[in-house]
Amino acid sequence: MTRRAATEEQLLSMEQMIDEWFAQQKAELPILLDVSRDEDIPRRWYARLKGEERDVTTVWLTLGQRTLKYETYFLPWPETNREQLFELLLRRNYDLVGAQFGIGPEEAIFLTGELPFQSVDGDELDRVLGSIWEFVERYWSAALKIGFANYFADSTERE
């Protein structure tokens, strides 16, 4: 079954709903530091979230005719223990709902997901941002220590 493409009118309406939702969330959600739009890519938003384990996570949301895609940069290509790190992330993928770890542009690790156009509403946007924030907070430190073990070993030796 193919998802029907949204009309231009539906896209404009959805774009407005997302803008309004973000404006409301900026006033109510303390971890939402900033929201901006991409000047070069139509219907793309950048939401900057304040973290605890990781200082800031930026989630990119891109509205298309059939889906809302979302992603965040998780880690650069690991310098050490690649197999161990990839096993950790693949095992985490099994339990994640709404997003998955993958290798993206520049050989970096990303968390990505998408929603069917017809499913996008305020509750789903809240779930998407909350899930991405939670997954980064939950797995970032462990992944960083595995993928960049030499850096942590060096800093421990200096202390």
Strand partners, 35: 47
Query: Which residues have C-beta within 8 Å of that of residue 78, sequence separation ≥ 6?
Result: 85, 109, 146, 147, 148
pLDDT of residue 159 exceeding 60, the answer is: no
Domains by residue range for the chain, with CATH:
8-158 (3.30.1460.10)
Q: Distance (Å, rounded) from C-alpha 151 to C-alpha 79? A: 9
Range in 9-13, 48-52, 150-154 with the lowest mean pLDDT: 150-154
Structure tokens at 48: 């900057």
For tokens 């998407």, the residue is 128
What single DSSP character describes residue 42? T
Share of the chain above pLDDT 90, in %: 90
Predicted pLDDT at 74: 98
